[in-house]
Chains A and B, each alone.
Chain A
Amino acid sequence: GESVGLHLPTLSVQEGDNSIINCAYSNSASDYFIWYKQESGKGPQFIIDIRSNMDKRQGQRVTVLLNKTVKHLSLQIAATQPGDSAVYFCAETFSNSGYALNFGKGTSLLVTP
């Protein structure tokens, strides 16, 4: 079946550097995408979302890029901080599904001092 996947299971960056987390999706019907951050023992925390008629969206220190041609998403975190260490998930969905989210496995981000 179609699924959401992540290119890298783990990513280690130094504090202050920029981080890029990648995600591939395969359902061409998906029209809405969300990035979540999950810390140990907690539920997923919303970071940023984007819909399929956009190619870029910016938040505070985060940017999401969407390339529909190759079905690819990325999350860019500027000036990564130790508090950014967590597992990051991208999720895809489409409005006709009731927005039921299809998550990938996640990328573990480790920020070293």
Chain B
Amino acid sequence: DTGVSQDPRHKITKRGQNVTFRCDPISEHNRLYWYRQTLGQGPEFLTYFQNEAQLEKSRLLSDRFSAERPKGSFSTLEIQRTEQGDSAMYLCASSFLETQGWGNIQYFGAGTRLSVL
């Protein structure tokens, strides 16, 4: 399978615990995005990387959230001191942005569903 891979698919944790999710993008994609989706809503943008550089963070990304893409390949999203309001589906997407291109199709993984008890 050469699509975007996310691990784990499901995570149940207790309030106050830290959790970390991993995303493996499509090979050679230079852009990687994180989104959060709650039930019945569309995904909401959290942050994105161009290679290893984190270029933008949404105001939704509180200080408890941190994302990394150390070698410009896989990425991790960590949530510290989880709260019940963090319960959601966390989606990763990747794309290849051409300097002369006009669009940016983002391909999504299946997501990590987080439940905070």
Which residues of A are interface residues toward B (Cβ below 8 A)? 4, 32, 34, 36, 41-46, 49, 51, 89, 91, 93, 95, 97-106
Which residues of B are interface residues toward A (Cβ below 8 A)? 4, 31, 33, 35, 40-45, 48, 50, 55-56, 58, 91, 93, 95, 97, 102-111
- Cα distance A46–B95 in the bound complex, in angstroms: 12
- Cα distance A74–B107 in the bound complex, in angstroms: 21
Q: Kindly identify which residue among A34, A95, A98, A104 contacts B55, using a CB–CB cutoff of 8 Å.
A: A98
Q: Please, which residues of chain A bring their CB within 8 A of the CB of B97?
A: 99
Let me know if B105 and A89 touch, CB within 8 A. Answer: no
Closest to B44 in A: A103
Top 10 closest pairs, chain A to chain B, by CB: A103-B42, A43-B108, A99-B104, A100-B45, A44-B108, A43-B110, A89-B42, A103-B43, A98-B56, A43-B109
Q: Kindly identify which residue among B35, B106, B107 contacts A99, using a CB–CB cutoff of 8 Å.
A: B106
Closest to A36 in B: B108
Q: Could you jot down 6 A-B contacts, CB within 8 Å?
A: A43-B110, A46-B107, A89-B43, A98-B48, A99-B95, A105-B40
Min CB–CB distance B75 → chain A (angstroms): 15
- Known A-B contacts: A98-B56, A106-B41. Give 19 more (CB < 8 A): A32-B102, A32-B104, A43-B110, A43-B111, A45-B108, A49-B103, A51-B102, A93-B104, A95-B104, A98-B48, A99-B31, A99-B48, A99-B106, A101-B33, A101-B43, A103-B42, A105-B41, A106-B40, A106-B42
